[in-house]
Structure 1
Amino acid sequence: MTIVPTGSAAPPAAPSGRGVGPLLRAWRERRRVSQLELALRADSSARHISFVETGRSRPSEEMVLRLAERLDVPVRERNALLLAAGYAPRYPETPLDDPSMAALREGVERLIQGYEPYPALVMNATYDVMAANRGIVMLLDGVPESLLVPPLNAMRLTLHPEGLAPRIRNLRAWRGHLLEQMQRQVALCRSEPLRALYEEVAGYPLPPGTPDEEPGGEPGGEASAYFALPMRIEHEGRVLSFISSVSTFNTPMDVTVAELAIETFLPADPATVKYLHSLVS
């Protein structure tokens, strides 16, 4: 499955009636960093940080970016901080289908194809699937066409009662993991589209007959010990186990690139490895 560009989010707007000071203070408190600690990180003084946060001092563009970097503020939100301080956004938001993104598209597609036969996909900040390999297509076999209309959304596909949810053996644990992950992102990014998605998927009913917890072990065997929470999913009469890993780009200079995430699914047991390789042998 090749990369499918989706509509770009609107450029960040400076919050009405709020300067950059309260926004920086909110990020500092969110990171649980004192004014003194932030000042040391940014080669400034606690007094200057205090003046910036209260609006008594207008920070330079360089200072806004330095504080944002020390507070690990997402790239999109750094643009919002600059706007609130009266400066132009620093980071562009280039559509994935732009010619300048050709190398990125080719590299990402080659990466997830090279991961086959194991599943891998690329998502944006709201979990829309931008690209997926044949391992993911295999897992989606049997999902209703109504859920496969672009743009595909990884959270909807996973948690919808007509999607993958009925086949996930440890659905309660996996669902809880995904919802907690989304809650952290909503709190961090203040994204209304992400909040709306969270409220939607959190409201999905569990498929009928979902057990309170996954039965321990397979018939005649013992429960496997995992080093991380697996997703255990049925496929053609077998239970496949995967450990999820998410990668992002280091030091991105574009909002679109900063919000891309590559999720790969590592087989969590020898039986899953053997089965996936049998599909391509």
Structure 2
Amino acid sequence: MTQNYQAEVTQYFRKKADGYDRTDEQVYWRLSDELLWEALERYVLPSVPEGAKLLDAGGGTGRWSDRLLRHRKDMSGVLFDLSPDMTRHAAAKSVQHGYADRFQVLQGDLGELGGQVEDEQFDLAISFHNVLGFVDDVPSVLRQITAALKPGGQAVLVVPNRYHAVFFNIFTGNLDEAESAAFERRGRFTPDMPAMHLFTPTELTGTLNEVGLPVSLVTGYPVAVYPGFQETQLDGTSATVQQTLSDEAAYDRIKGIELRLLGEPGLAERGNNLFVVARKPK
């Protein structure tokens, strides 16, 4: 990562760090998180071995390390992230929730992951949400994640969907960013965030195959409900999302629709996020 871009990313997450986990309180992200957890339980966790070791690549405040290590008390984990402002929250969670003895936080640029962790050490590697969008060289980072996995280990990626970025920016009236997403495969969802790589299912599958991580599942989520601008902030709910999801009975029915569609490969392009599972050959 270039020094200027690294500084931009670090500053962005410094401002977000203390309030980052408040997204749990927003109804859209509650639905999104419930779908992601269901995807993990369906497609990933059943084949994660007893005593597995987790790599959370770009894990930030540790929202997903925390959930996995509390759910699977046989697992241990390493979180690797650029932002010290984010990772101090991850470390605090591990103490608060009683797994600090099986959790390690490492600081650094994902482009240098291979120099910080041993090869063939992990059974499961996760990299969720916009993390891979913020690295300079995506194939290089994916090669380093591949090297860190044991043979048979799984990588689970959640990345920003280029097609959704085009839609979202048209929907919110930012045609410059819509054009950037469509033509340059880079963009952003808010004016204050650094521009990032955007992904399509075909491109990401091809890259993973090239680095030695054959894909077993590529899909998207949520596919029927999309965020508004307010959902890009740490607080608040957009009017359309509020109208759609605020009623609990309607929320449950919509969640049921999303769960029924979850995992269908043909819906990847419709997802707000892409969800990809790949496995290192034995």
TM-score by length of 2: 0.23
TM-score by length of 1: 0.23
The structure in which a higher percent of residues are strand is: 2
The structure in which a higher percent of residues are helix is: 2
